[in-house]
Structure 1
Amino acid sequence: MRARRALRWLRWLRVTEPYTFDTPDGAKTLSELFEGHSQLIVYHFMFAPEWVVGCKSCSFWADSFNGAVEHLAQRDVRFTAVSRSPLPRLQAFQRRMGWTFSWVSSQASRFNFDFNVPFRLETLASGEAVCNHGPLGESNTEMPAFSAFAKDARGDVFHTYGTYGRGIEAANAAYRLLDFVPKGRDEDGLSFSMSGVRLRDSYGR
């Protein structure tokens, strides 16, 4: 595991853009999102500015986040979700779902665009959209991802890791538990693997 980490983080990319986020405590920069830690994990939550509620698949992942936050903090890691939707809409959806992890809005910055997880319509139309270091191959303007950042002793911020697509599955506790049982994820016959997923409070309706 240590050798794998060493390979994964060989190249740190310094972040020079002064990204600003709307948070419950006012505007904060990317550096300030670390909240005194030297490492930061960002989940790029699919919630476009025009959407009424957040993505049901991202919500499936987010149901795993609450309990992990305090454990991460003990290892010098701050966690936050970031979405392009306005902060009041994020907060309303967060209350509905009972989540308490940090969630901030990047609506006023290029942050998500610069890390290749939402895409402008003109970029999709041109076929130039890149995700996971290759052509996107989809027509969605929003995509999920994890980004990891580190801050050095001088306060400089670096992007140290990013994972997209199937790479984010490691953070989904429900998927990992389903993999223990004989029927597994039980996705045979579904039109696509995530079609059976709903918001947690919508099952049985």
Structure 2
Amino acid sequence: MCSSACAGLVCHFLLDPGSAEECASCSAAAEEVSDDLLTRLRRRDTSFVAVSRAPMTEIERYKARRGWAFPWYSSSGSDFHYDFHATRDNSYRSETPSHRSVFEREGSRLFHGYSMFALRAETLGNWCYRLDLPVRAG
């Protein structure tokens, strides 16, 4: 359970609605997210989730095909991915889409710490690295 202050690591997984192709870089990084990693993060009041623009039916189908069990949500029908420049939608996307966003919760308040804007910057395999991602008061 999360204490009064906790961190959330969000992977903006580039899986668009009706897309026949997934982001190869996102998929490679997701292969590194194990149950053990999620447990280690939770023990340190840090959560990890993936979010995609595709509807949940497409996400669940892709998740099952790949054998992934980490939490993955749909932002379908919202501006979430556009707000964080994390989309392959050519009518909107920036030069370097975001792949990670870090959020902090203090009590009932939620803060956006930062987003990383670099393709192939998914240093996901090392759980210690992930614990350095949250913005924590010193």
- Taking structure 1 as the reference length, what is the TM-score of the superposition? 0.54
Tell me by how many angstroms 1:48 deviates.
0.6
Partner of 2:61: 92
Q: Does 1:58 align with 2:26?
A: yes
1:113/1:119 contact within 8 Å kept? no
1:53/1:119 Cα in 2 relative to 1: closer, same or farther (>3 Å)?
A: closer
CA distance in 2, matches of 1:167, 1:97: 20
2:99/2:119 contact within 8 Å kept? no
Q: Secondary structure at the match of 2:123?
A: helix
Segments of 5+ residues of structure 2 without an aligned counterpart are 127-138
2:29/2:123 contact within 8 Å kept? no
Q: Does 1:150 align with 2:104?
A: yes
State which structure, 1 or 2, has the greater radius of gyration over its C-alpha atoms. 1
Aligned-pair identity (%): 28
CA distance in 1, matches of 2:125, 2:68: 15
Deviations 1:126-161 (A, max 9, x none): xxx3xxxxxx17xxxxx45110101112x1110012
Tell me by how many angstroms 1:55 deviates.
2.0
Aligned CA RMSD, in angstroms, stands at: 2.2
Q: Secondary structure at the match of 1:171?
A: coil
Tell me by how many angstroms 1:107 deviates.
0.6
CA distance in 1, matches of 2:14, 2:25: 9
1:151/1:158 contact within 8 Å kept? yes
Aligned residues: 123
Partner of 2:118: 165
Partner of 2:133: none
- Give the letter for the 2:103 counterpart: F
1:111/1:88 Cα in 2 relative to 1: closer, same or farther (>3 Å)?
A: same
Higher helix share: 1
Segments of 5+ residues of structure 1 without an aligned counterpart are 1-34, 130-135, 138-142, 174-205
2:49/2:71 contact within 8 Å kept? yes
1:109/1:68 Cα in 2 relative to 1: closer, same or farther (>3 Å)?
A: same
Q: Does 1:109 align with 2:78?
A: yes
Q: Secondary structure at the match of 2:76?
A: coil
Where relative contact order (Cα < 8 A, 6+ residues apart) is larger, the structure is: 2
CA distance in 2, matches of 1:119, 1:94: 20
Tell me by how many angstroms 1:114 deviates.
0.3
1:47/1:120 Cα in 2 relative to 1: closer, same or farther (>3 Å)?
A: closer
- Give the letter for the 1:64 counterpart: E
